[in-house]
Structure 1
Amino acid sequence: MLIRLFLMVLDVLAGFLSLALLARFALQWARAPYRNPIAQFLVAVTDWAVRPARRVIPSAWGLDLASLVLAWLAQGLYLGLAHGLGGLGGGPLEAVGLVALLALLETLKLAAWLAQGVIIVAALLSWINPYAPMAPVVNALAQPLLRPFQRLIPPIGGVDLSPLAALLAIQLLLAVLTSLFGALLMPMR
């Protein structure tokens, strides 16, 4: 019981840190303006880990890969601890490889949840208050995700249905990732 509670708290902390690191990476990837409360919060929450990691993890294609690697490592540390406390078995090398792969899948799931949240908030802001102070940041994050769907689905009666298609695609991706995660854990139990 106590171990389960401890792992639940660690899951929340690792998930929050990973999500913040992924959001920081997404802001840079989308070239969103950094002069906003969301970006300032993300920098304040993650700078303690990202700055030292930049010395070891180089940037590529103008993107700070340290945030991505740290998000994966946070998930890996949590899953490694959960794997160790749960006693799932397997050899040490097999366990490290499995945890690394599970951490990658979990990081991809968090990225999909982040994308889903951004699309929903962007759609709501476009209907409720397109001139809200946070709208430019949210739109900068949502546009690269929606653009492929907007090319395929024209507006119908002035209504953009691309967010619905994007959300459906993300839901399908989440189902596949969850299925893979479960399939990888099944032989170890």
Structure 2
Amino acid sequence: MNALTGATIFVIQTLISLYLTIVLLRFVLQLVKANFYNPLCQFAVRATQPLLKPIRRIVPSVFGLDTSSLLLAIVIQALLMAFVLMMTYGTIGDIPHLLMWSIIGITSLLLKIFWVAMIIMVIVSWIAPGSHNPAAELAYQISEPILAPFRRIIPNLGGMDISPIFAFIAIQVLQSYVMPALAAYAGMPQELWRLI
């Protein structure tokens, strides 16, 4: 792969990954029942609406999950992986493997979204507790469903909430050990590992 091909892959991968994150954030926002009047939520809705509107006519929500956003995220991830494979090997591979690799990639990106939301929540709780910043409120709304099970298990230590520590450990174990094992088991090429 020459430098121009590498640069092309990098630019397209970065732009598509950014949009993919917004689409997946839209799925997460509905999953955690976030406040859609938040300006950041409004941005995610406006950015994804052109592609989601036609899909919503065909794909209904299932059990309250925004399946159209999830389906769009899987399709975008599959197209990105197909593009990287085409630029690297001259072939896109087979559809079942692309779909399996896309689901692994989407799961990894979901873990990253929860990780970043918890980091923001922890930092804001230290430097500006009780902040009503839209980003802080959104980070809290995304993090709370992940932290709630840990808070039920871990006792309160005199006003010190250590549940984020255990949530970070759980996400890190999934991200560092489970996701690479799944990718290896699914036969994901090394070039696609950068995408997850």
Does the pair score TM above 0.5? yes
Provide Cα deviations, 1:3-41, integer angstroms capped at 9, x if missing partner: 211111121122111111111111111111111111011
Q: What is the match of residue 85 of structure 2?
A: 83
1:185 matched to 2:188? yes
Q: What is the match of residue 33 of structure 2?
A: 31
1:133 maps to a residue whose letter is N
Provide Cα deviations, 1:115-139, integer angstroms capped at 9, x if missing partner: 0011111112222222223233322
Match runs of 1:40-189 below 5 Å: 40-87=42-89, 95-129=94-128, 130-134=130-134, 135-175=136-176, 176-183=178-185, 184-185=187-188
The two structures, once aligned, show a CA RMSD in angstroms of: 2.1
Aligned length: 185
For structure 2, list consecutive stretches of 5 or more residues without a partner in the other structure. Answer: 192-196
Identity of aligned residues (%): 29
CA–CA distance in structure 2, aligned partners of residues 79 and 171 of structure 1: 24
CA–CA distance in structure 2, aligned partners of residues 42 and 178 of structure 1: 29
**TM, length-normalised to structure 2:** 0.86
CA–CA distance in structure 2, aligned partners of residues 132 and 144 of structure 1: 19
Q: 1:187 to 1:3 in 2, by over 3 A?
A: closer
What secondary structure, in the 3-state scheme, does the structure 1 residue paired with 2:158 have?
Answer: coil
CA–CA distance in structure 2, aligned partners of residues 126 and 172 of structure 1: 24
- The offset of 1:141, in angstroms, is 1.4
Bigger drift between 74-83 and 9-18 goes to: 9-18
Provide Cα deviations, 1:58-112, integer angstroms capped at 9, x if missing partner: 11112221111111111100101111222277xx8x6222211111111111100
CA–CA distance in structure 2, aligned partners of residues 187 and 75 of structure 1: 16
What secondary structure, in the 3-state scheme, does the structure 2 residue paired with 1:70 have?
Answer: helix
What secondary structure, in the 3-state scheme, does the structure 1 residue paired with 2:59 have?
Answer: coil
CA–CA distance in structure 2, aligned partners of residues 187 and 31 of structure 1: 36
Q: 1:11 to 1:96 in 2, by over 3 A?
A: same
Verify the 8 A CA contact 1:17 1:71 in the aligned structure 2.
no
What secondary structure, in the 3-state scheme, does the structure 1 residue paired with 2:94 have?
Answer: helix
For structure 1, list consecutive stretches of 5 or more residues without a partner in the other structure. Answer: none
